[in-house]
Amino acid sequence: MPALERFRHSAPLGRLAAWLAVAALWLCACGSEQAGPEREAPANASSQPPLMAAAREGLPAGATGVSMTAVDAVHVVFVLEGAESRPSSLQPRTLKAGETVRIWWRAEHAPVDPDVEHGHEALRLRFGYEDWSSMWAESRVPGGSGDVAVKEWALLPPPTAEPMTLGEDLELLVVAGARLPLGQLEIRPGRGAARVSPSSAVGTSPAPTVLRLKLRVRKIGAGGD
């Protein structure tokens, strides 16, 4: 076949192959634009914090409690500060998405048996989950003359469900005791160690014994628990 005839027969096939190649590239580009953001997004980027609301039933006497509902799976663990005696283990609890658990806490204090430790006063926290055995932690105000002033502060849970803040410890309960006249031990508004202090001049009063109970909630896969 002459060269001109070969060109006439092969040119349409070449143009068709070129158009098919361009179309394939265009379809791949469109698919990449649609799938790219989903493919690159972290698996836990849209994780939502649990919802918390006051619990009014099924609590031990004198306890405060909350019902916590996990929107996405989270780890929950109690955190203690200032405790001389504490549970041997405070293992994180995993809440599955949609799971609800009731958490409670209360403070106790009473003089220690004088036959054991004269003049000491025990400050105790009791806490736990409704479906687990209760736990406790304790510290003691040193012995001495005069009465022990004790102050307590407990979180006031929201009446209706509100989202918690992930990555921050939620302070549930503070109990403090010191050998100070009544009215000279304060639990002030605020966060952290500054919440509790003797109201008299610094250096003239004994430092209070302080027990704190906090709740730590972290989303699973966040590099935490």
Based on the domain organization, do 83 and 1 belong to the same domain?
A: no
Q: Residue 199 — pLDDT band, cuts 50, 70, 90? A: low
- In 3D space, the residue among 126, 151, 128, 145 whose CA is nearest the CA of residue 208 turns out to be 151
8-state DSSP, 85: B
Mean pLDDT calculated for residue range 25-33? 42
| Amino acid, single-letter form, for residue 194 | A
For residues 217 and 93, the answer to whether their CB atoms sit within 8 Å is no
Task: Write the Ramachandran bin of 96: left for phi over 0, alpha for psi from -120 to 50, otherwise beta.
Answer: beta
- In 3D space, the residue among 127, 136, 118, 148 whose CA is nearest the CA of residue 209 turns out to be 148
Residues in the chain: 225
Q: Residue 36 — pLDDT band, cuts 50, 70, 90? A: very low
Higher pLDDT, 115 or 94: 94
Q: Residue 89 — pLDDT band, cuts 50, 70, 90? A: confident
- Domain span at residue 33? 1-41
- In 3D space, the residue among 210, 212, 118 whose CA is nearest the CA of residue 169 turns out to be 212
Percent of the chain residues past pLDDT 70, beyond the cut: 67
Q: What's the domain count of the chain?
A: 2
Residue 2 has pLDDT above 50, yes or no: no
Which structure tokens are listed for 141?
A: 């105000």
Average pLDDT, the chain: 77
Query: How far apart are the C-alpha atoms of 171 and 165, rounded to whole Å?
Result: 12
Based on the domain organization, do 68 and 33 belong to the same domain?
A: no
For residues 103 and 68, the answer to whether their CB atoms sit within 8 Å is yes
**pLDDT for the residue 82:** 92
Based on the domain organization, do 21 and 124 belong to the same domain?
A: no
Is 46 a member of any domain?
no
3-state secondary structure of 15: helix
Based on the domain organization, do 164 and 92 belong to the same domain?
A: yes
**pLDDT for the residue 220:** 84
Query: How far apart are the C-alpha atoms of 196 and 174, rounded to whole Å?
Result: 8
**pLDDT for the residue 191:** 66
Residue 6 has pLDDT above 90, yes or no: no
3-state secondary structure of 32: helix
pLDDT digits (tens, 9 = 90+) for 112-123: 776 556 678 899
According to DSSP, the residues that pair with 163 across neighbouring strands are 51
For residues 75 and 218, the answer to whether their CB atoms sit within 8 Å is yes
Is 139 a member of any domain?
yes
Least confident of 2-6, 43-47, 89-93, 167-171: 2-6
Residue 107 has pLDDT above 50, yes or no: yes
**pLDDT for the residue 179:** 84
Based on the domain organization, do 157 and 136 belong to the same domain?
A: yes
Which structure tokens are listed for 30?
A: 């469109």
